[in-house]
Amino acid sequence: MAQLMGGSLFSTAPGGFHPFRAELVASYCRISGPTKLHSFQELGAKASEIHGNSIACNRASVLRSNKKSVIQAILQSEREIETTNGITTRGLRGQLNKVVLAYSGGLDTSVIVPWLRENYGCEVVCFTADVGQGVMELEGLEKKARASGACQLVVKDLKEEFVRDYIFPCLRAGAVYERKYLLGTSMARPVIAKAMVDVAKEVGADAVSHGCTGKGNDQVRFELAFFALNPNLNVVAPWREWDITGREDAIEYAKKHNVPVPVTKKSIYSRDRNLWHLSHEGDILEDPANEPKKDMYMISTDPEDAPNEPEYVEIGIVGGLPVSINGEVLSPASLLTKVNEIGGKHGIGRIDMVENRLVGMKSRGVYETPGGTILFAATRELESLTLDRETIQVKDSLALKYAELVYAGRWFDPLRESMDAFMEKITETTTGSVTLKLYKGSVHVVSRRSQYSLYREDISSFENGQIYNQADAAGFIRLYGLPTRVRAMLHKDI
């Protein structure tokens, strides 16, 4: 699986905070395998499919190349053009002008750069999205990209947009996939794909590319987003086309094309990290019977080693979305960063699960989601005060479908967008605060407050009151239980 890396508090962006909530915030603060090809003839004889706009290339069309110069290698700092006897040189699989590649700087994406140039005769613009994967993952990327043959590296900080417009809507909807997964990777892909489409427009690219394997979910998530945002873009997925089958093949290809092989130590796990979570797959985790090793975890303390004293945190919520921690109003990304630190210290948010991938197979993964686990507990608990029974039941049923859509890469579908409008509407009064007790991997709710609470102590009290007369319950029970009595009478007669 490819390791891809990637506002203001009251942004008017869809699914984010809205200006009218400023007053509510102030109020709250006051109260609290490809087919292997062996020869040029085979390459010429086989058609190449580029998903998006389909481009077919065969041997005859290669021989009828137009007499135009084609850029073989280009750097921003030096505009050099290489040609072959004045004849247009097509790639082995077709011809593209410029491709935007989702780039991490690792071995796979470093190799994809020369592979795209060789097979599609194109310039390659590397794109990296900062979605909170950490500074170490971003260091030296431009040097790596240029050394691999890219003409440009574009890096965009998407952390605030990621949390505000993707994470928080899922949080408000209560979206959890298969009872456990808080959709960390699933939510990150559409924000990265959207940025890639934007960059493609900015640099005049006619194609986008990713390093996702043909077995995973991410290829679907990226490509459905590309289709939704710009159906005219071609999509190139090297893992579904090339004959590179593993790390050794990739290293050999890199050496052959003078691409510096990344010297970083190869992790035995496949990991994906962003501001919401860190996932682990592979190695011993491929056997569901194996317990994860203690040293595998990276952003959360082992609950056994967590502080022996509990910590209390208060989460302020406006319209179903977190806005503050311990009374301090923060931007979405800043708030999540702070809650992650607190939760990680107490070993919060470790999940070990076997999930059903979209492509049909089962997969075992371990997730660390400290901040997300805390925020989910807080928002869900506040809803117990502000939403009635029927609304909660409908919301929970829709949350399952919402999670499935996000997991399956259908973020930009009208159905999800319509469901999001519903979630925003019914959580308008989900405003208040929730205090949580964190202790050795556990999260306990100890306090909840809301100015829109439907809870009435004078009604819920065991004492008789003017609104609720306990004697009225007898008539209610007789009517409510009428079907049960009729059924029992029928069986008795029989």
Query: Residue 461's CB: how many other CB atoms inside 10 A?
Result: 10
Q: DSSP string spanning 218-267?
A: HHHHHHHHHHHH-TTSEEE-GGGT----SHHHHHHHHHHTTPPPP-SPPP
Exactly one of 130, 206, 218, 272 is catalytic; name it: 218
| Helix orientation angle between 482-493 and 472-480, rounded to the nearest 10 degrees | 50
Query: SS3 for 380-428, per residue?
Result: HHHHHHHCCHHHHHHHHHHHHHHHHHHHCCCCCCHHHHHHHHHHHHHCC
189 counts as catalytic: yes
d(C-alpha 381, C-alpha 370), whole Å: 17
What is the chain's length? 494
d(C-alpha 63, C-alpha 59), whole Å: 6
d(C-alpha 395, C-alpha 173), whole Å: 7
Exactly one of 189, 350, 410, 448 is catalytic; name it: 189
Exactly one of 93, 104, 108, 221 is catalytic; name it: 108
Tokens read off for 296: 């595998």
Tokens read off for 153: 């590296």
The one-character DSSP state at 466 is: S
Q: Which of 340, 341, 311, 354 is nearest to 442 (CA)?
A: 311
Tokens read off for 201: 């427009």
Query: Looking up tokens 């796990």, which residue turns up?
Result: 269
108 counts as catalytic: yes
283 counts as catalytic: no
Tokens read off for 375: 């925020």
User: Taking CA 261 as the corner, what is the angle to CA 256 and CA 262, rounded to the nearest 5 degrees?
Assistant: 165
3-state secondary structure of 437: strand
Cβ(125)–Cβ(98) under 8 Å?
yes
**How does strand 278-281 pair with strand 442-449?**
unpaired
Exactly one of 270, 334, 384, 453 is catalytic; name it: 270
d(C-alpha 480, C-alpha 430), whole Å: 31
Active-site annotation, residues: 108, 189, 218, 270
